[in-house]
Amino acid sequence: MIIRNRPDLTDNDVTDRSVYNNRRTFLKQGAVALIGVSGLPLAACSADSSAMPNDKATPLDDITSYNNFVELGTSKSSPSRNADKLITRPWSVTVDGECEKPGAMDFEDILKGQALEQRIYRLRCVEGWSMVIPWTGFALSTFLKAFKPTSKAKYVRFQSLLDPEKMPGQKRPILSWPYTEGLRMDEAMHPLTFIATGLYGEDLPAQNGAPLRLVVPWKYGFKSIKSIVRISFVEQQPLNTWQETAADEYGFYANVNPDVSHPRWSQRKERRIGEFRKRKTLFLNGYADQVAQLYQGMDLKKNF
Ligand code: MTE
């Protein structure tokens, strides 16, 4: 049973599949806490039946076979089929730009330096589908602080691996490679912003962005850049890949917002993978209590 931090959590949040049945594997990555879809820690206590539509974790098979990862193919099923091409060891991440201690770190050393946690987050794709994913990983802020960003660091830019042998989709100019994303500094340092290194208690599968990917649960899924090799502190707002591809369709902020339509479709509803009936999309993907203040006074229709 769980403490109900938010009214939209139900006991179904934590009963799906191996996640909680098999705590042994769940703890394999050295996890120290369980965090619910609200982003707040779960603990043993009683369940509240006044809950809103439930957020049952999406089955592992769906999370790992229905993917967007253009570097591994353009259909939903191709990233899992091409996953073996993406060799993720050795892997190093370079952190540079406006910081006092730039440097490169091997993935294994990054893991050693972080206390891993479990977090169950909703992921809402701009295309209109959503999932609930039990991640393992660490807060981005704890990682970034070690590089001592300076006062000039206003944004953080992320880049995925550029290697057409390991990422065959890069042999075609579908997008401008490497895949690039960005966050404002306060978004990057927000406690909900997460680097995932695993899911369902196991290492992150290649198709989900191994060995490490960003997760920003209140933003559309395209912000969650996969297989990161470079993180740069920058002064100017970076241009992200999808914005570069179609600026009228994909913005920098990409905050989940049922009131701001994509130019070609409404964002009011979503299809949770595995469900038949569509659900209403929640403002900021249901994380408004925690993050709405980041956008106070901003016109979210302009800054989409
Ligand atoms: N990262 C890279 N490098 N390349 C991509 O094509 N697709 C994005 C994002 N990260 C993508 C990426 C999109 S559109 C979404 S919805 C999510 O990854 C999907 O994550 P998932 O496949 O783990 O559900």
Residues 74-126 have pLDDT tens digits of 999 999 999 999 999 999 999 999 999 999 999 999 999 999 999 999 999 99
The answer to whether 40 and 222 are in contact (CB under 8 A) is no
What's the pLDDT tens digit per position in 286-297? Answer: 999 999 999 999
Instruction: Please check whether residue 88 is in contact with residue 206, taking contact to mean a CB–CB distance below 8 angstroms.
Output: yes
Question: Which pLDDT value is given to residue 53?
Answer: 64
Q: Which of 67, 77, 130, 224 to mutate to test the pocket of ligand 1 (most atoms within 8 A of CB)?
A: 224
In this structure, of 33-37, 78-82, 147-151, 246-250, the range with the lowest mean pLDDT score is 33-37
On the question of pLDDT at 5 being above 60, the answer is no
pLDDT band for 33, please (50, 70, 90 cuts): confident
* Lowest mean pLDDT, pick from 17-31, 53-67, 199-213: 17-31
pLDDT > 70 in the chain, percent: 85
| Whether pLDDT at 3 is above 50 | no
> Residue 242: pLDDT above 50?
yes
pLDDT band at 7 (very low <50, low <70, confident <90, very high): very low
**From CA 269, how far away is CA 283, in angstroms rounded?**
11
Contact 68, 123 (CB under 8 A): no
What separation in Å is there between the alpha carbon of 223 and the centre of ligand 1?
A: 8
Q: CA-CA distance, 299 to 53, in Å (whole number)? A: 29
* Ligand 1 mean position, distance from CA 207 (Å): 9
Domains observed in the chain: 11-295 (3.90.420.10)
- pLDDT at residue 143 is higher than 80: yes
**Ligand 1 neighbours (beta carbon < 6 A):** 67-71, 123, 125, 160, 179, 208-209, 221-222, 224-227
Mean pLDDT rounded to a whole number for the chain: 89
d(CA 47, CA 278): 25
| Mean pLDDT of the region 172-177 | 96
Minimum-distance ligand 1 atom for the alpha carbon of 126? 16
Tell how far the Cα of 205 is from the centroid of ligand 1, in angstroms. Answer: 13
Q: Band of the pLDDT at 39, cuts 50, 70, 90? A: confident
How far does residue 5's CA lie from ligand 1's centre (Å)?
29
pLDDT higher at 267 or 48: 267
Among the residue ranges 19-28, 95-104, 118-127, 219-228, the one predicted with the least confidence is 19-28
Which two three-digit tokens encode residue 19? 């996640």
CA nearest 82: which of 96, 92, 71? 71
Nearest ligand 1 atom, CA 69:
6
How sure is the predictor about 203, in pLDDT bands with cuts at 50, 70 and 90?
very high
Closest of 203, 172, 103 to residue 143, by C-alpha: 103
pLDDT of residue 96: 98
